[in-house]
Amino acid sequence: MQRTSKLLHIGDHSRDIAGLTYVYPVVSRRAGGVSIGINLNPNNACNWRCVYCQVPDLKRGSAPQLDLVTLEAELRTFLHEIVHGDFMQTHVIPEARRINDIALSGNGEPTSAREFAQVIELIGRVKADYNLPKNLKLVLITNGSLVNRPGVQAGVSAMAELNGEVWFKLDSVTREGRQRINNTRMSLMRMRENLRLATRLCPTWLQTCVFQINGMAPPVVESDAYLSFLESFLNEGEKLKGVLLYGLARPSMQPEAPRLTKVDQVWMETFSARIQALGVEVRLNP
Ligand code: SF4
């Protein structure tokens, strides 16, 4: 899940400032701070192909073999720069000079990295060596499709000890919808089981993107199915932190881009209210 899509920040996406392979800063005026992004997919590869994906030259595939020595060196360099150097003064407007989180997010699906659990261990180890805010979050922005892998579960479970949060993509609960939006054939049963696994291992938000295709807002059948899914998931006693509800914040880099437009504010707010009526917190990022 690439940072630009997954965090959907409006702001200065200054990946080039650091010029590193895996680590990059995202300065967000709206969130009022700096996120330390970790991109495990420098090869722009994802196992899905969402029509709104903002990764340029996206290709199907997995993260490449990671160079953990380089990743650790980059993370240390960057944290040193933020904590002891002049990064904030040089690159960040005064009102955003704080660290918001460390986020596993990049140009593809981060959990497709074989070394995913080792990466979490590495982050925990490095983080402990710096004087960082106690409540600094570690966010995993994921399409959730690989949570059934034991290595991913080990990493997600370790995240819970590091003030972790999983942002689990859920754009549609119908087979057609997931095929149309995410270009995946993953079954609803697999998605539900993976969501269940994630929520039990680490606090989890759903991350849902809504938009118009060819000028048409999501069909009623889609939004009704989404709400029924949520209701039944919660009725089974599963816990969710809430729903991050996004519109199209930045342009898609996929061939479908010309067909995609934002849903209007009223649609977003109505849908948000229906989710909240289920007792679920919604954070709206139109
Ligand atoms: S899950 Fe979708 S939005 Fe995220 S990187 Fe893959 S294709 Fe892009």
pLDDT in tens, 175-198: 999 999 999 999 999 999 999 999
Q: Do 164 and 103 form a contact (C-beta atoms < 8 A)?
A: no
Helix, strand, coil % in the chain, rounded to nearest 5: 40, 20, 40
In whole angstroms, give the CA distance from residue 110 to residue 105. Answer: 6
Please state, rounded to an integer, the average pLDDT across all residues of the chain.
91
pLDDT in tens, 245-280: 999 988 999 999 999 999 999 999 999 999 999 999
CB contact set of 130 (below 8 Å; sequence gap of 6+)? 79, 80, 83
In this prediction, residue 27 has a pLDDT band, given cuts at 50, 70 and 90, of confident
Q: Which two tokens stand for residue 109?
A: 């699906």
Residue 1 Cα, ligand 1 centroid: separation in angstroms?
5
Mutate which of 53, 105, 147, 260 for ligand 1? The one with the most ligand atoms within 8 Å of its CB, which is 53
In whole angstroms, give the CA distance from residue 10 to residue 35. Answer: 13
pLDDT in tens, 54-72: 999 999 999 999 999 999 9
Widest CA span in the chain: 53
pLDDT in tens, 144-163: 999 999 999 999 999 999 99
Residue 153 Cα, ligand 1 centroid: separation in angstroms?
20
For ligand 1, say whether the CB of 243 is within 6 Å of any of its atoms. no
Is 23-209 assigned to CATH 3.60.15.10? no
Q: Do 25 and 34 form a contact (C-beta atoms < 8 A)?
A: yes
For ligand 1, say whether the CB of 5 is within 6 Å of any of its atoms. yes
- Say if residue 143's pLDDT is above 60: yes
